[in-house]
Chains A and B, each alone.
Chain A
């Protein structure tokens, strides 16, 4: 008999009940573990103390206690922030960073809920950004009413993203072509599509690889514009984009948990056979969900150009992939995604000054890796048992 040398082995038993708290615990555990692993990497990269590095990252992402106290004092007294203080820390930058992440994570959440693995939110975001830019700079006159302009840009972004998401949705639903491959590949098409217009093509102004500054009506107003009445807001770049994300999250939560369509999405995601048995149209739903997913990512693209105020050759790639991470960390809950996105925005802002520059991406990667790993304790109960040829009375199956 071939006996292994270690007389113990690990056995996984499917959990029949996963209590709600376990999801939160395993998410937090994932982040803590990731920070520990990241700490070792920081040490190797030459950090004198990983703990102080984390402290610095946290302070640069979310500010210090003193920053927040000064901020509240300034608000109540309606004065400007004291010299040398950073009121509320870098909260404003963090929120600006969080909004595209939040919208792409919502795009992932709605698709993942139905087990459609859309990893093309990045490409859909690019197409949304492209369409919104086209409307703002080349289609509508710069004198258009700002509200009308933003609505038109939003509509263009949503439509472009929806179409770009619906293409792989169509291919999946009617031709059964793997959406992971198509959405991934379409990302690169979108990058180059935008690059063609902005870097070499018709939209570039001179050699600047940029469309140039958007007309004022086509940009998000920033908080600093209100600094005449509320002095503390001076210099803050936060814009309504994050509110857009929050509203979208609330709307999506309603769709998923309270609407007929959301019920269909959850049934299909959990058991497509039962959905068919209940007469739910699978093809149509795959198509629509992919379109909605693309629309949310497209909205993120519109928000991003309205916030940056131009579309240029350095337009940030990767929000769509960060969205995948957020979606999982939030366990596909749109409301949780708001919080996780803001935390991640802080991580991005906080690690901007950390050298080497790859630390932020490394930490994101490790967090996702560990969170997916902790799924194990979420899905299974882990047993250690002796292996010495004697049958052990097993608990498995003794479920009343």
Chain B
């Protein structure tokens, strides 16, 4: 097979956000008539990379070539005028307007007189051509989510898009709608369009993509591999990483009594669909239990349910001899139950408050920080000075607002706060996501120290490397269920990969 010409090439793209290197010298090439999947865990930089291409972000380095010519996009309009259109996870449609009105929204032409009926005809014809039937006169709010997505696609085609970027398009669709979407994508590639398909769902990638590029922590781990000759397990490994970057110095110790016991726990996600289904497991003292899995298989919901941020629909949770429910959660948070949340900036910290004030978030209602109604400023300051020194948080003063800290330092603040009280149980979710090697090592060391001090730790991560080097026991989550439970030492990476991909889910 001869290679078709490229539609665009991205070379050595770099994108930084304050404190984070989101995209690190990434190359990405797309050819005519192909579906190129961009695969990676949450926060790997997939959407960021494509937002650069679609003109939403400006890169801090690198260049974009369009048919060999260098281009710079200042806005999404620039990008679409060059034939690059992106469909975001959240649709950009005006609910009370018709399909045709949404399609022409924002176009420069026609300047004064809008002949809606001729546009409606064009939209209908375009829909016919690509097998996407939509009534152009229907109002958006009357349409299903799948139909709304078609309107977004039509909008881009109407603007002459040759390259279509779809950001996790199947996340909101029913299985039937996914099939219809894939049919449309085939029609489009047959007509020479290029598709960039952003996803973390292995199954779909294998099904629809011609080529796959895998991103991990802002770097390409596999470029342009043919999707035909690759297995799901291989992709899973590429996504979460298996090369050993570092080793954690960890002694083997005998675990103690059960600290966390979960029986038949179920919970729903934000859309009201079952996210965890009758999960049962236990975590013992002096033990780190890792939960592996591809993003979106219920890990976040599990952590939220265990820490009282989400209510369970069925099942029981017990910490020691305390039943965890909405009342006891409030009481135990910050005492015996510690939580390193997934999103440190928007959940784990209060950006405008100082380091000292962030450090007391879990202990402000108790002595020595507060006595009666008031908060003891001196105790707050002493607590901060002690923890900043102990956990090696680098900051000019303890009164610096935490939004000025780098990701690694912010995570240290959270860890300091959560572990200072010697918790019995710790739930850590993606504790090293987005951190550099140095900070990652510091966090790993801390977790092991907590374990040695007697804590039971549940570690949820997408980084297989991290899980294998830290965990004593490893479980795999797939579609809300725990599908594997094994000693971490004896675990086989291939087998874990298969479980994460759901291959052995039924056995």
Contacts and interface: CB of A to CB of B under 8 A. Distances in A.
B58 A397 contact: no
B113 interface: no
A1 interface: yes
Interface stretch (B89-97, B197-205, B348-356): B348-356
A254 B18 CA distance: 34
Nearest to B357: A263
Contacts of B51: none
B321 interface: no
B364 interface: yes
Interface string B298-329: 00000000011100000000000000000001
Given A260-B375, A397-B60, A279 B72 contact: no
A258 B339 CA distance: 26
A400 B406 CA distance: 7
A328 to B, nearest CB: 17
Interface stretch (A270-278, A301-309, A351-359): A270-278
A372 interface: no
A273 B361 contact: no
B361 A391 contact: no
B81 interface: yes
Interface in A1-35: 1-2, 16-17
A389 interface: yes
A398 B333 contact: no
Nearest to B394: A400
Contact of A279 (B74, B330, B350): B330
A258 B60 contact: no
Contacts of B331: 279
Which residue among A258, A266, A278, A397 has the maximum number of chain B CB atoms within 10 Å of its CB?
Answer: A278
Given A277-B347, A278-B334, A260 B374 contact: yes
A260 B373 CA distance: 6
B60 A259 contact: no
A399 B365 CA distance: 35
B18 A397 contact: yes
B184 interface: no
A207 interface: no
The interface residues of chain B, by DSSP majority, are classed as loop
B103 to A, nearest CB: 19
Contact of A259 (B16, B339, B375): B375
Interface string A373-400: 0000000000000010111001011111
Contacts of B59: 391
B160 interface: no
Given A279-B330, A279-B334, A389-B72, A271 B351 contact: yes
A271 B374 contact: no
B60 A394 contact: yes
Interface residues of A, number: 33
A21 B353 CA distance: 17
Given A260-B365, A260-B375, A394-B60, A277 B309 contact: yes
A18 to B, nearest CB: 9
A71 B81 CA distance: 74
A1 B353 contact: no
Interface in A233-288: 254, 258-264, 266-267, 270-271, 273-274, 276-279, 281
B112 interface: no
A386 to B, nearest CB: 12
B62 to A, nearest CB: 10
A273 B346 CA distance: 7
Interface string A172-198: 000000000000000000000000000
A260 B329 CA distance: 20
Contacts of A266: 350, 353, 357
Which residue among A16, A259, A397 has the maximum number of chain B CB atoms within 10 Å of its CB?
Answer: A397
A266 B105 CA distance: 41
Contacts of B357: 263, 266
B341 interface: yes
Contacts of A270: 350-353
B185 to A, nearest CB: 29
Nearest to A281: B330
B403 interface: yes
Contacts of B72: 389-391
Contacts of B18: 16, 397, 399
B350 A271 contact: yes
A274 B350 contact: yes
A1 to B, nearest CB: 6
B362 interface: yes
Contacts of B330: 279, 281
A16 B333 contact: no
A392 to B, nearest CB: 9
A2 B348 contact: no
B377 interface: yes
Which residue among B307, B333, B351, B361 has the maximum number of chain A CB atoms within 10 Å of its CB?
Answer: B361
The 5 closest A-B pairs by CB, nearest first: A397-B16, A279-B333, A279-B330, A399-B18, A271-B350
Interface of B: 15-19, 58-60, 72, 74, 77-78, 81-82, 108, 307-309, 329-331, 333-334, 339, 341, 346-353, 357, 360-362, 364-365, 370, 373-375, 377, 401, 403-404, 406
Given A258-B374, A281-B330, 5 more contacts: A276-B309, A277-B341, A278-B333, A278-B334, A279-B334
11 contacts: A2-B81, A16-B403, A263-B364, A271-B349, A271-B350, A274-B350, A278-B333, A278-B334, A279-B333, A391-B58, A397-B18
